[in-house]
Amino acid sequence: MIVGEGDSGSTVFYLLSGTASALRYSAAGAEVFIDTFGPGDLIGEMSVLGGGERTADLYATSDVELTTFSGPAFISLMEKHGNIGLRVSRLLVTRVRRTTRRMFEQSTLSSKGRVCAELMRLAEPVGSTDVLQVSAMPSISEIAKKLGLARETVSRTVSELKDQAVVASDGSNLLINQPHLLLARLG
């Protein structure tokens, strides 16, 4: 654990290498995925800018290397260098958009639709073809945890997509051979 929910928000972290995840827990103890972070991401700027406590637990999901800024130093950098303030503002807008999209998907898509949306989110183009690829496909359990679904639901959905030749395994990667059919399943 890097920081815990409710901790004082007096430090901003800059992730130099590795990955981390922000998680919260429901009153019943269920883990709720908030976001993932990778090299180049800022973490903790919201509590410094908002003057409050941390809003989630932050866990390293691999070996990480971080550098830190005290809250006052971070705010001073933003005040003195408008381009830094603008970049932080854009970062926050990106996070709000990502969170809004996830909330919308959670509220409007079926479980299978949410799995399809996550696969599309993870996918990248392969050359000049219509094929997309999810490099280093996360485990079924990781996807289920991230989406708040049962592992069996994710496994069944991916198996159905494979049976229908919409997706195919390629080593540790997942190929999306027919992205238009995957998008059609978002309902």
How many Å from the N-terminal Cα to the C-terminal Cα in the chain? Answer: 36
Mean pLDDT of 68-84: 94
Give the separation between CA 25 and CA 33, rounded to whole angstroms. Answer: 9
67 neighbors 17 (Cβ within 8 angstroms)? no
Mean pLDDT of 32-46: 91
Please state the pTM of the whole predicted model: 0.76
17 neighbors 60 (Cβ within 8 angstroms)? no
117, pLDDT greater than 90: yes
The pLDDT score that the predictor gives to residue 128 is: 80
117 neighbors 187 (Cβ within 8 angstroms)? no
Mean pLDDT of 48-68: 92
Contacts of 37 (CB under 8 A, 6+ apart): 15, 19, 20, 21, 22, 43, 58
187, pLDDT greater than 70: no
The pLDDT score that the predictor gives to residue 114 is: 95
Q: Which domains does the chain have, with CATH numbers?
A: 11-108 (2.60.120.10), 111-184 (1.10.10.10)
The pLDDT score that the predictor gives to residue 92 is: 92
